[in-house]
Amino acid sequence: MVECPQVTQNDFFGVPYIKYSFITLFLSQFLFGCIESTDKTVSFKPQSKEDIVQDSLENLDSLVFKYIAKNANESIKYAKQAVKVAQTVNTPASRAKAYKILGNAYSVTIIDSALRFSIPINDFSTMSNSLNSLGGFYYNIGEKVVARIMFDSAFAIAKRKLLTLQMGSALGNLARFETDPKKSVTMLRQAISYLEKSNGSDEQIAQSLINIGYRVSDPDSALHYYNQAVNMISAEYSPVVTIAAYNNMAYCYLENGDLKNAEKCIQEHALKVAIKTNNIDWKSTVYDTYADILQRKGNSTEAMVYA
Residue 65, φ and ψ in degrees, nearest 5:
-70, -30
287 has a pLDDT exceeding 70 = yes
- The sign of the torsion formed by the CA atoms of 136, 138, 144, 149 equals negative
Q: Who has greater pLDDT, 39 or 268?
A: 268
Question: Comparing C-alpha atoms, which of 117, 146, 111, 116 is closest to residue 129?
Answer: 111
Highest mean pLDDT among 37-41, 59-63, 125-129, 133-137: 125-129
| CA–CA dist 169, 133 (Å, integer) | 10
pLDDT average, residue stretch 153-177: 96
Average pLDDT of the chain is 82
Question: Comparing C-alpha atoms, which of 203, 123, 136 is closest to residue 163?
Answer: 123
* Residue type present at position 288: D
| CA–CA dist 231, 252 (Å, integer) | 17
110 has a pLDDT exceeding 70 = yes
pLDDT on residue 29: 26
Q: Would you identify the CATH topology of the domain 225-307? A: 1.25.40
pLDDT on residue 17: 31
Contact 247, 2 (CB under 8 A): yes
pLDDT on residue 156: 96
Helices (H), the chain: 21-32, 49-67, 72-87, 92-118, 124-140, 144-160, 164-174, 181-195, 202-215, 219-232, 239-255, 259-265, 271-276, 280-297, 300-306
Cα dihedral 18, 204, 188, 288 in deg (nearest 10): -20
- The sign of the torsion formed by the CA atoms of 51, 2, 294, 261 equals negative
Q: What is the DSSP string of 76-126?
A: HHHHHHHHHHHHTT--HHHHHHHHHHHHHHHHHHHHHHHHHHHTTTT-HHH
Find the angle CA(15)-CA(20)-CA(23) to the nearest 5 degrees: 110
270 has a pLDDT exceeding 50 = yes
pLDDT average, residue stretch 135-161: 90
99 has a pLDDT exceeding 60 = yes
pLDDT on residue 68: 72
pLDDT on residue 42: 39
pLDDT average, residue stretch 281-297: 90
Q: What percent of the chain has pLDDT above 70?
A: 85
| CA–CA dist 137, 144 (Å, integer) | 10
pLDDT average, residue stretch 120-140: 90
pLDDT on residue 6: 66
173 has a pLDDT exceeding 70 = yes
Residue 178, φ and ψ in degrees, nearest 5:
-80, 120
pLDDT average, residue stretch 214-233: 95
pLDDT on residue 72: 72
pLDDT per residue as tens digits for the range 72-90: 778 788 888 888 888 888 8
